[in-house]
Amino acid sequence: MSGTTLYQKRRHTGARRGVEPLYYLFLVPTLLVFTAFVVVPALIGIFYSLTDYVRFGDWSFLGLSNYAALFSDPRILESYGFTLGFAVVTVVVAQVIALALAVALSRRIRFATTLRTVFVIPMVVSGIVVAYVFNFLFSNSLPAIATAVGFGPLEESILGNPDLAWLSIVIVSAWQTIPGALLVYTAGLTSIPTDLYEASALDGASPWRQFRSITVPLVAGFILINTILGVKGYLGVYDVIVGLTGGGPGTATSSVAMTIFGGFTGGDYAYQMANATVFLVVTALISVAQIVATRGRAVQL
Amino acid sequence: MTTDIAPRAAAQRPPARPQARRRTGGRVHRTNWPLTVLLGLATLTVFVPLYVTLSMAFKSSAQSADGNAFSLPAPFNPAGFAEAWELTRFPVSFAISLAVAALAVTLTLLLSSLAAYAIARNWSHRFFRWSMIYLLVALFLPFPVVALPQIQLTALTSLDNPVGVGILHAMFQLSFSVLLYTAYLRSIPIELEESARIDGASTWQIFWRIILPLLGPMNATVGIFAFLASWNDFMMPSLIMSDPTLQTLPVVQNIFQSQFGTSYNVAFASYLMAMAPTIIAYLFAQRWVISGVTQGAVKH
């Protein structure tokens, strides 16, 4: 304790090298723009969530009643259920496929560079455009194929089926985000020394055992990064849904983001700001929980 | 430790192959053909949507409506492109997309490299440490949370246009980019700067002449992320921009969802024109893009 105060005092009395004013000029403009465009809107939004504001005109304080209403609104709860479920399923699907591809690409295969080039293509195309293309495939081609082979469940478009429409969003979201994760895993795999595999092979370890006991622990840090960034991205899902289902059929695939944006035209502005605030807390809690749950699991060489 | 081992492992890899082959009599460690074939088949997941887009774009409007997405165009009919070009005002929306992305990339590179440099070199000072934490908050701030107030704010300040979208895109890249830059700056030896300082260089000169060039690989990484996020975004321009004639390329594609009477071949010609620029750019610069993204993965 005394050490800290001593340290601080020393700093305040200027015994340490002072900060050159130019450094403030480097940093402060960024802080100001960031505050004006991100932090202030966030605070305004949180403030209005406590009112009955409708985007224009007068407003009065409501306290927490927007929040109370939120937790008993089936439409809102459904959107959270869908968004969380979608994020969990997609992050698992995308990470498993990305890691499998990265491991496969690191093996003794031919055309590894070309194959990787192809697998990364989805990363550079626009999500909404891809969703439009897949929309056509799901509503025309897939039913046509299903009819031709006589597979009943898929003869109707899955986009029109309330129980299956979410699958299309998982598929397109995963398609689009696997490349980024794949590159991260490739970076992780190249940092593992090959002698580890050679030594374990001499000890008779099977490829699966090597994967479990060498690969996974050593890329755990990368799995963590991918999962955290992935979940955050999937929770904000919007573009892909717009291109595929528009939130339908009914509200079956309506994500939290879509519900919030509805507040701009639907007249429940303040209510949706409360929703946005809850969404912020949920997103932050999930990220923190992921970091805490996996802390210390990553093996550092 | 990790960084020490990585280059050594990389250096060892080339001789490892012939050795292993010799030891096992050239049998076990040969090319894994089944895996190669399997991966080749997996590329169909990427190729099929692209193939369908390409072939649909060159069909006649009658053929594009026959429900068979996988057939080749017969007759070969590029007329869809002319119509798509007109409907989406392609040159305009392309130019606007490019301008928005250019603004987003420029702002991201400039603001985050300057901020990261100031933070990295003054880490012992509370103000700079806390600024870092303050900027990192946005890493877990999804756009939908602040979207509604931002729509209002941009409307009030007459930024409900491509300029506003470019600025907002940069704002949402800031946290990640500052994180990447500070991590990278820590790996640049401070002696370089100190010797320049002894030679009489000011901090301003040091940043532009020494630091910025040294940040080269990270500039590429940050720039690629910022460009792709901005160029491909639908959510922000569609919500922020009030004038539909100033919309970006991804957003104008929605006319094919609402407008009756346009055929699939026109829609797909338009999708192809929207996708092709980044795919072509990527194929030419792929080593750059891949190493850039990989840098981003390793450095934070």
Rg, chain A, Cα only: 25
Supply the mean pLDDT for chain A. Answer: 86
> Does B231 score more than 80 pLDDT?
yes
Q: Which pLDDT value is given to residue B24? A: 45
Note whether B143 contacts A: Cβ–Cβ < 8 A.
yes
Instruction: Give CA–CA dist A217/A145, Å, rounded.
Output: 42
Note whether A191 contacts B: Cβ–Cβ < 8 A.
yes
Q: Please, what sign has the CA dihedral across residues A79, A82, A85, A90? A: negative
pLDDT digit string, tens, across residues B4-47: 334 334 444 444 444 444 444 444 567 888 899 999 999 999 99
Of A171, A117, A186, A132, whose CA–CA distance to B47 is shortest?
Answer: A117
Rg, chain B, Cα only: 25
> Does A301 score more than 70 pLDDT?
no
Neighbouring CB atoms inside 10 A of A241's CB total 28
pLDDT digit string, tens, across residues B177-218: 999 899 888 888 888 888 888 988 888 899 998 898 888 888
Average pLDDT over residues B163-187: 92
Q: Which pLDDT value is given to residue B261? A: 62
Q: Provide, as residue numbers in chain A, all residues whose Cβ is less than 8 Å from the Cβ of B282.
A: 120-121, 124
Q: Provide, as residue numbers in chain B, all residues whose Cβ is less than 8 Å from the Cβ of A4.
A: none
Residue type, A32: L
Check if the beta carbon of residue B77 is closer than 8 Å to that of residue B59. Answer: yes
What is the pLDDT confidence band of residue B292, given thresholds at 50, 70 and 90? confident
Check if the beta carbon of residue A240 is closer than 8 Å to that of residue A169. Answer: yes
Residue type, B151: I
What is the pLDDT confidence band of residue A16, given thresholds at 50, 70 and 90? low
Answer whether A132 sits within 8 Å of B250, measured CB to CB. no
> Does B96 score more than 90 pLDDT?
yes
Q: Which pLDDT value is given to residue A144? A: 84
Answer whether A30 sits within 8 Å of B128, measured CB to CB. no
DSSP A246: T
Length of chain B: 300
Residue type, B46: V
Q: Provide, as residue numbers in chain A, all residues whose Cβ is less than 8 Å from the Cβ of B286.
A: 117, 120
Instruction: Give CA–CA dist B142/B235, Å, rounded.
Output: 12
> Does A264 score more than 80 pLDDT?
no
Instruction: Give CA–CA dist B37/A111, Å, rounded.
Output: 10
Instruction: Give CA–CA dist A124/A269, Å, rounded.
Output: 34
Answer whether B149 sits within 8 Å of A19, measured CB to CB. no
Q: Which pLDDT value is given to residue A172? A: 96
Kindly state the percentage of chain A with pLDDT values over 90. 41
Neighbouring CB atoms inside 10 A of A283's CB total 22
Q: Which has the higher per-residue pLDDT, A223 or B259?
A: A223
**Encoded tokens for B189:** 């030896």
Q: Which has the higher per-residue pLDDT, A209 or B300?
A: A209
What is the pLDDT confidence band of residue A134, given thresholds at 50, 70 and 90? very high
> Does A2 score more than 70 pLDDT?
no
Q: Provide, as residue numbers in chain A, all residues whose Cβ is less than 8 Å from the Cβ of B53.
A: 133
pLDDT digit string, tens, across residues A159-178: 888 888 999 999 999 999 99
Q: Where are the domains of chain B?
A: 1-30, 31-77, 89-299
Q: Which pLDDT value is given to residue A297? A: 57
* Residues 155-194 of chain B whose Cβ lies under 8 A from any Cβ of chain A: 167-168, 171-172, 174
> Does A84 score more than 80 pLDDT?
yes
Q: Which pLDDT value is given to residue A150? A: 79
List, as one string, the DSSP characters of B112-150. Answer: HHHHHHHHHHTTTSHHHHHHHHHHHGGGG--HHHHHHHH
Domain covering B89-299 in this structure, CATH number: 1.10.3720.10
Q: Which of 1.10.530.10, 3.40.50.2300, 1.10.3720.10, 3.40.50.720 would CATH assign to domain A74-294?
A: 1.10.3720.10
Q: What is the ipTM of this complex?
A: 0.86
**Encoded tokens for A194:** 């090959």
Helix (H, G, I), strand (E, B) or coil at A51: strand
What is the pLDDT confidence band of residue A13, given thresholds at 50, 70 and 90? very low
Shortest distance between the Cα of B142 and any Cα of chain A, in A, equals 6
Q: Which has the higher per-residue pLDDT, B286 or B91?
A: B91
Answer whether B142 sits within 8 Å of A261, measured CB to CB. no
What is the pLDDT confidence band of residue A133, given thresholds at 50, 70 and 90? very high
Q: Which pLDDT value is given to residue A20? A: 85
Instruction: Give CA–CA dist A224/A230, Å, rounded.
Output: 10
- Counting runs of H as helices and runs of E as strands, what totals does chain A give? 16, 0
Neighbouring CB atoms inside 10 A of B173's CB total 25
> Does A1 score more than 60 pLDDT?
no
Q: Which pLDDT value is given to residue A11? A: 44
**Encoded tokens for A158:** 């899955």
Residue among A108, A136, A273 minimizing CB distance to B148: A273
> Does B48 score more than 90 pLDDT?
yes
Q: Which pLDDT value is given to residue B8? A: 38
Q: Where are the domains of chain A?
A: 16-48, 74-294
pLDDT digit string, tens, across residues A185-198: 988 888 888 888 88
Q: Which pLDDT value is given to residue A14? A: 42
Instruction: Give CA–CA dist B188/B192, Å, rounded.
Output: 8
pLDDT digit string, tens, across residues A197-213: 888 888 888 888 888 88
Check if the beta carbon of residue A165 is closer than 8 Å to that of residue A253. Answer: yes
**Encoded tokens for B138:** 């946005």
